Amino acid sequence: MVFSLAAILGVALSLAVEASAKTIRRETYPQGLQWGPCKLNTTLPVQCAKLTVPLDYTNNSDNRTLTLNVIKYPAQKEPKRGSILLNFGGPGQDGLNSMLAYAPLQAPVTGGYHDLISWDPRGTGNTLFNCWPQDPTGYFAGLGSTQASSADTATGKLWAEGEIIAETCYNQLKDIGDYVGMAFTARDMIAIVDALGEDGMLRYWGISGGTTLGSTVAAMFPDRVDKVVLDGVMNAHQYYNMFGEPEMVAATDATWEQFMRGCIAAPQNCALARNHHTFQDLESAMRRLFDTFRNNPPVYNGSLVFELSFLESHVYNALYSPSKWPQLATSLDGLLRGDLEPIVASISEGGAIPSQAQAILGIRCGDKKLRTDKLADLGADLNQYRRTSRWFWDWGWGYYVMPCAQWKFHAKERYNGDFRVKTKNPMLIVGNTYDPVTPLVSARNMSEGFEGSVLLTHNGHGHLTLSQPSNCTNTAIQRYFLEGTLPDPGTVCEPNFPLFDPAA
């Protein structure tokens, strides 16, 4: 995404306002989208285009614009049945590069008759929301990376670091920070639908953070909904209205326990089962390992202290993908024997707040309605995290909860409704039974608000249905996009392979 920066720099922003219907701009796109080659390193048959949209939808007198980078993965079969927009989550993940990874997975599930369309949502991609363009010492990358459970003083430290993050982002981006958020991105989506020149209806598959975007666009434009799939669902009520989102960890412990139970059930494929023959035995070993990293952290190579944060990050990130669980088991088995190399490798994968996570900060924090300068005001939310998860109750506090509470930007428009909406056509909402970050309860909570929607339970593990594929789930999504047919309420789909199965 490319901002018209020359027109933006030096312009002071007024305080954010909640947009009213009479101030909302609506553009027309008679020229449509002009597709051409993409400047991407790929052999996929993708095409790219640019679309100019208003920078500020709430101000009819503001002529500044924003240029969206749009990408198309063409339908593989004829006759074409229109386009499906994809958003890959975060919220903060770019669309162009993500399309290269996801299109080969999602296109066959849709049936292959639709063009798949994505874009770099405002705030993502080409350094639009970059709080620290240069970080040669890695100082900013390390902010917020401590787990609150690692020490009695950790919560206060995270709060102070959150203030640094919020202040630094404001000083760097004060001229553009209020123009990112779900509501404006939803309007950008409808602009893309209009520019496609098809039937003017929205077809969409949103995953993870893209489900809150999908919920928002469906609630704002219910008459434009043709077919919308939400997969790996966030609780949008908490996203907008709470300091944190404690429901995010509602199934994290259960997913972690499923990892251990799955290991014991498949000892031939799980290194941890070599010396631990029952779930209770393995759970006790893991509790001791966590306690060791908390109270007596090991030292690597005579210079690097491995705190609990490193271990939690290593485990939590692997829980997203069951295909990585055998590797996780091997690394944890090594740690029990004093081998720190797996943790060293995980650190090399990146710092706490890279550019994509900064985009998440910009979008998520600007969308939240609550602000405070007192840590004590977060007490109710933080206690709910503690009640919700025993193992991972403090996950994400330093990345987003603490900075967002002190955030200085306010999205120019927010969705202020209650997500109780009847869309023109009913939506399909899919949740995993054991998803470590978007639990089934969130899918159920969002489905209850959208009249006529159906909740499909994917009785799998990891984040999103794609993490542990199911022919049953894929068929349900394909029938929905091709025929408009929803599965029967209460349908439960099983994954194709059990945990730790080499065939998976």
| % helix, strand, coil for the chain, step of 5 | 45, 15, 40
Helix H or strand E encompassing 231: strand 225-231
Summarize pLDDT for 18-39 with one digit per residue, the tens: 333 335 666 777 788 999 999 9
pLDDT, residue 354, reads 52
**340 — phi, psi (to 5°)?**
-95, 0
Of residues 202, 208, 220, 235, the one with CA closest to residue 414? 220
Summarize pLDDT for 458-495 with one digit per residue, the tens: 999 999 999 999 999 999 999 999 999 999 999 999 99
Distance separating alpha carbons of residues 447 and 158, to the nearest angstrom: 34
Range in 23-32, 182-191, 296-305, 416-425 the model is least confident about: 23-32
Extract the tokens encoding 74: 């063409």
Distance separating alpha carbons of residues 146 and 155, to the nearest angstrom: 9
Of residues 190, 213, 221, 225, the one with CA closest to residue 428? 225
The enclosing domain of 338 has a CATH number of 3.40.50.1820
User: Residues 39, 166: contact at Cβ < 8 Å?
Assistant: no
pLDDT band at 12 (very low <50, low <70, confident <90, very high): very low
**446, pLDDT greater than 60:** yes
**269 — phi, psi (to 5°)?**
-120, 10
Helix (H, G, I), strand (E, B) or coil at 432: strand
Query: Residue 96's domain spans which residues?
Result: 1-504
Extract the tokens encoding 458: 């994917």
Q: With pLDDT > 90 as the criterion, what percentage of the chain qualifies? A: 78
pLDDT, residue 1, reads 38
Provide the number of structural domains found in the chain: 1
pLDDT band at 358 (very low <50, low <70, confident <90, very high): confident
